[in-house]
Amino acid sequence: MKQNIVDKILSAHLLSGEIKQGSEIGIKIDQTLTQDATGTMAYLALEAMGKPRVKTDISLAYIDHNMLQSGFENADDHRYIASVAKKYGVYYSSPGNGICHQVHLERFAVPGKTLIGSDSHTPTAGGLGMLAFGAGGMDVAAAMGGGAYYIEVPKVILVRLSGRLSAFVSAKDIALYLLKILSVKGGVGYVIEWGGEGVLTLSVPERATITNMGAELGATSSVFPSDERSFEFLKAQGRASDYTALSADEGASYDRIIDINLSELTPMIALPHMPDNVVPVSEVAGTKVTQVCLGSCTNSSLSDMLKAAALLRGKRIHPDVSMSVSPGSKQVLTMLSDCGALSDILASGARLLECACGPCIGMGFSPPSHGVSVRTFNRNFKGRSGTADAMVYLASPETAVLAALYGEITDPKSLSDDEIFIPYDVPDEYKADDSGIIAPCSPEDAKNVEIIRGPNIKPLPVFKKLPENIELNLALAVRDNITTDHIMPAGAKVLPYRSNIEKLSEFCFTAIDPEFPARASMFDNSYILAGYNYGQGSSREHAALVPMYLGVRAVIAKSFARIHEANLINAGILPLILKDPNDYDKLLSCEKINANNIPDAIKKGRLSIITDAGEIELLCDFSDRQKDMLLAGGLLNYIGGLKNE
Ligand code: MIC
Ligand code: SF4
């Protein structure tokens, strides 16, 4: 049978189930990654699972999110992760080394292999032909211990590229254009496979910008072929031996094909407050800008930074604009400095931030009140920047730099011919220095490694089994496209508590309703009512664990985002789908609902709830594994149960 790239990688890694669309399969995971904001929970789960050493080809713990260290909390998290990593066989990427996805692409991604990471942008590695998935920390812990990773067999969209990008149009514009076509829920249930002769015109870092933003489509993953451009990149990283060619068979089938002619694309920009709110830059040209940010796992590669440096060379940014630059890795920063491009950036008046997520997750550099910020990032959800009323736009490095220079959004295509920029050449060889990656100790020495826990690192919350019959109070009703940033905000004030569920619970849903934590705690058991695509965005399992801690036992929605649905099940919370979406309005008017014979309903995949507005049918169509997990009260209880069998 003719196979596409997704079929090839899935069938080579299949551990259980059948590759039949919609059914659940378990696949072998070759590599894992964690970052610090989700890592502490993942390693607490790994400890609880009782496996002495990780069983993957390689597992890495990156420190890149919680970098402010404005108190002891984040520093304690780093120290805890470093000690667990050492003991359990995980490589530790020290703070300053770079953003997980950028460093992983440079130093560890391998075509044809599988990767899961406790961060939704893990599919970035698909730029190098890996099949990579974002997952909750507990799932990553299970994979580190040698367990399978379970996914629903995805449908596959082929995006077929032809032509070549014209000057000032870049990979980010391709990603934004696809978001315009498909929307933030258009990728749910799909892997996006990239193909067509246009693919060869894109370098690996450009491909990685595109696979990175597949997360914003809600896609399960995104993947490019592995070809001569992949070899070129791996060779330049001193990793030629990691290369294998990978492409779809001629005539392989797809569920949907989207054709994009790169030559016809124009610069695009996402308007506040959703990544799919995309228009051509020309439509908003002239909008005054107060802030510009260059960086994030989407656009912080050496080639992006060199492009920006060339545009900034010999110029000053506009006096009304404050601009930040965060290179994606120490490799990028060192090479920028060595070739002199960093001096161009600094001379322009831009502020250099460290190699980390930084402003992307609201860790500093928040815009002023009502500020307009143009960012090369991937998410512009309301309030994520740390300023509730800021207007955040997402654009390519080219568009962002021009906004900084001119003080207003400027269509790169409108530049006149005499505005010449001499590009920097991307070098043939990258400077590989892995000294910031600390190897774990040997299995023999592991016994002597002490795990260091600071006072802010609290044990995991208690996971409770669902009772037979339950009365649930409506704790909150929300509409479509609720993000995990709404549920469990990030940012400088909240991130220090990622290892402390109790403290974190004070912030749950407060962006939508400041009274939520107090109200939910009043009820013994409660539920959340939601529209379509509930839980889109980040993979943070805190968005499930914290509501669970506050007594939320079910979420009733019109549909769910993939990673969040898995996180709810892992936490023992029932994700229920309204059979008739119109029943949403009926439920709005009911304070309480009653659900009876829950274990039976889980087994059957249907639950009828009794409400003041009559009986309402809900779907809970889970795999057998998920049913068992829900009946056990979440993943840890389930795995604990398996161990005792
Ligand atoms: C994000 O971009 O939202 C994050 C911060 O990287 C998250 C992970 C987290 O919440 O720690 C993600 O994308 O999964
Ligand atoms: Fe970090 Fe932002 Fe990328 Fe998330 S999206 S991993 S916060 S840079």
Instruction: Output the pLDDT for position 571.
Output: 97
Q: Is 638 left (phi over 0), alpha (psi -120 to 50) or beta?
A: alpha
Residues 245 and 278 in one domain: no
488 lines ligand 1 (CB under 6 A): no
* Any domain includes 429: no
* Any domain includes 479: yes
Ligand 1 centroid distance, CA of 539 (Å): 6
Residues 237 and 277 in one domain: no
Atom of ligand 2 nearest to the CA of 101: 6
| Model confidence band, residue 415 (pLDDT cutoffs 50, 70, 90) | confident
220 lines ligand 1 (CB under 6 A): no
118 lines ligand 1 (CB under 6 A): no
Calpha distance 55→31 (Å, rounded)? 9
* Any domain includes 588: yes
CA angle 121, 328, 375 (to 5 degrees): 75
Residues 496 and 560 in one domain: yes
| Predicted confidence (pLDDT) per residue in 287-300, tens digit | 999 999 999 999 99
Q: Residue 420: is its pLDDT beyond 70?
A: no
Residues 488 and 627 in one domain: yes
Residues in the chain: 645
Domain count, the chain: 3
The pick from 329, 357, 488, 538 for probing ligand 2's pocket by mutation, whose C-beta has the most ligand atoms within 8 angstroms, reads 357
Find the CATH number of the domain harbouring 582.
3.20.19.10
Q: Among all ligands shown, which has an atom nearest to the Cα of 381?
A: 1
Cβ contacts of residue 124 below 8 Å, gap of 6+? 101, 102, 104, 105, 132, 208, 211, 212, 297
Residues 239 and 361 in one domain: no
| Model confidence band, residue 416 (pLDDT cutoffs 50, 70, 90) | confident
Find the CATH number of the domain harbouring 319.
3.30.499.10
483 lines ligand 1 (CB under 6 A): no
H-type helices in 279-329, by residue range? 302-312
CA angle 380, 384, 386 (to 5 degrees): 130
* Any domain includes 134: yes
- Percent of the chain, pLDDT > 70? 99
Mean pLDDT estimate for the chain: 96
486 lines ligand 1 (CB under 6 A): no
Residues 260 and 294 in one domain: no
| Predicted confidence (pLDDT) per residue in 478-526, tens digit | 999 999 999 999 999 999 999 999 999 999 999 999 999 999 999 999 9
Q: In this structure, which residue's CA is closest to atom 2 in ligand 1?
A: 538
Average pLDDT over residues 170-181: 98
Instruction: Output the pLDDT for position 643.
Output: 61
Atom of ligand 1 nearest to the CA of 215: 13
Q: Could you tell me which of 394, 428, 372 has the C-alpha nearest to residue 279? A: 394
Q: Among all ligands shown, which has an atom nearest to the Cα of 42?
A: 1
Select from 264, 281, 315 the last residue of a domain. 264
Q: Among all ligands shown, which has an atom nearest to the Cα of 296?
A: 2
Average pLDDT over residues 309-321: 97
Calpha distance 582→466 (Å, rounded)? 27
Q: Among all ligands shown, which has an atom nearest to the Cα of 504?
A: 1
453 lines ligand 1 (CB under 6 A): no
Contact assessment for residue 313 and residue 422, using Cβ atoms and an 8 Å cutoff: yes
Q: Which two tokens stand for residue 220?
A: 């399960």
| Predicted confidence (pLDDT) per residue in 220-242, tens digit | 999 999 999 999 999 999 999 99
* Any domain includes 448: no
- Percent of the chain, pLDDT > 90? 96
- C-alpha dist (Å) from residue 58 to 63, 97, 210, 450: 16, 18, 25, 22
Q: Which two tokens stand for residue 584?
A: 């949403």
Average pLDDT over residues 366-371: 98
- C-alpha dist (Å) from residue 521 to 373, 473, 475, 569, 587: 37, 11, 9, 21, 21
Calpha distance 316→333 (Å, rounded)? 21
Select from 264, 296, 311 the last residue of a domain. 264
635-644 vs 624-632: helix crossing angle, rounded to 10:
100
Residues 215 and 116 in one domain: yes
Burial class (CB in 10 A: 0-12, 13-18, 19+), 354: middle
Atom of ligand 2 nearest to the CA of 215: 5
Residues 594 and 625 in one domain: yes
The pick from 43, 540, 562 for probing ligand 1's pocket by mutation, whose C-beta has the most ligand atoms within 8 angstroms, reads 540
Calpha distance 116→93 (Å, rounded)? 17
Q: Which two tokens stand for residue 548?
A: 């669970």
Contact assessment for residue 65 and residue 36, using Cβ atoms and an 8 Å cutoff: yes
Q: Residue 412: is its pLDDT beyond 80?
A: yes
Residues 286 and 252 in one domain: no
Q: Could you tell me which of 16, 363, 3 has the C-alpha nearest to residue 193? A: 3
Instruction: Output the pLDDT for position 611.
Output: 97
Q: Which two tokens stand for residue 254?
A: 């797809």
Contact assessment for residue 229 and residue 193, using Cβ atoms and an 8 Å cutoff: no
CA angle 258, 380, 537 (to 5 degrees): 65
| Model confidence band, residue 185 (pLDDT cutoffs 50, 70, 90) | very high
Atom of ligand 2 nearest to the CA of 379: 5
Residues 25 and 11 in one domain: yes
Instruction: Output the pLDDT for position 426.
Output: 87
Q: In this structure, which residue's CA is closest to atom 3 in ligand 1?
A: 538
DSSP 120-166: TTGGGGGGGT-EEEE--HHHHHHHHTT--EEEEPPEEEEEEEES-PP
Name the strands in the sheet holding 155-162, side by side, starting at the edge strand that comes first in the sequence. Answer: 221-223, 190-195, 155-162, 256-261
Instruction: Output the pLDDT for position 453.
Output: 95
* Any domain includes 450: no
Q: Which two tokens stand for residue 30?
A: 């070759």
| Predicted confidence (pLDDT) per residue in 442-464, tens digit | 999 999 999 999 999 999 999 99
Ligand 2 centroid distance, CA of 296 (Å): 6
Q: Residue 425: is its pLDDT beyond 60?
A: yes
Residues 502 and 371 in one domain: no
331 lines ligand 1 (CB under 6 A): no
Nearest 10 degrees: Cα torsion 382, 387, 390, 396: -80
248 lines ligand 1 (CB under 6 A): no
Ligand 1 centroid distance, CA of 531 (Å): 22
Q: In this structure, which residue's CA is closest to atom 1 in ligand 2?
A: 357
| Predicted confidence (pLDDT) per residue in 528-583, tens digit | 999 999 999 999 999 999 999 999 999 999 999 999 999 999 999 999 999 999 99
| Predicted confidence (pLDDT) per residue in 239-281, tens digit | 999 999 999 999 999 999 999 999 999 999 999 999 999 999 9
Q: Return the bridge partners of 329, or none.
A: 98
* Any domain includes 197: yes
Q: Residue 624: is its pLDDT beyond 60?
A: yes
Ligand 1 centroid distance, CA of 35 (Å): 9
Calpha distance 274→278 (Å, rounded)? 8
Q: In this structure, which residue's CA is closest to atom 5 in ligand 1?
A: 361
Instruction: Output the pLDDT for position 417.
Output: 65
Q: Is 22 left (phi over 0), alpha (psi -120 to 50) or beta?
A: left
Q: Residue 65: is its pLDDT beyond 60?
A: yes
297 lines ligand 2 (CB under 6 A): yes
Residues 329 and 216 in one domain: no
| Predicted confidence (pLDDT) per residue in 3-50, tens digit | 999 999 999 999 999 999 989 999 999 999 999 999 999 999 999 999
Contact assessment for residue 85 and residue 258, using Cβ atoms and an 8 Å cutoff: no
* Any domain includes 474: yes
Q: Residue 81: is its pLDDT beyond 60?
A: yes
Contact assessment for residue 266 and residue 173, using Cβ atoms and an 8 Å cutoff: yes
Domain that holds residue 23: 5-264
The pick from 122, 211, 293, 296 for probing ligand 2's pocket by mutation, whose C-beta has the most ligand atoms within 8 angstroms, reads 296
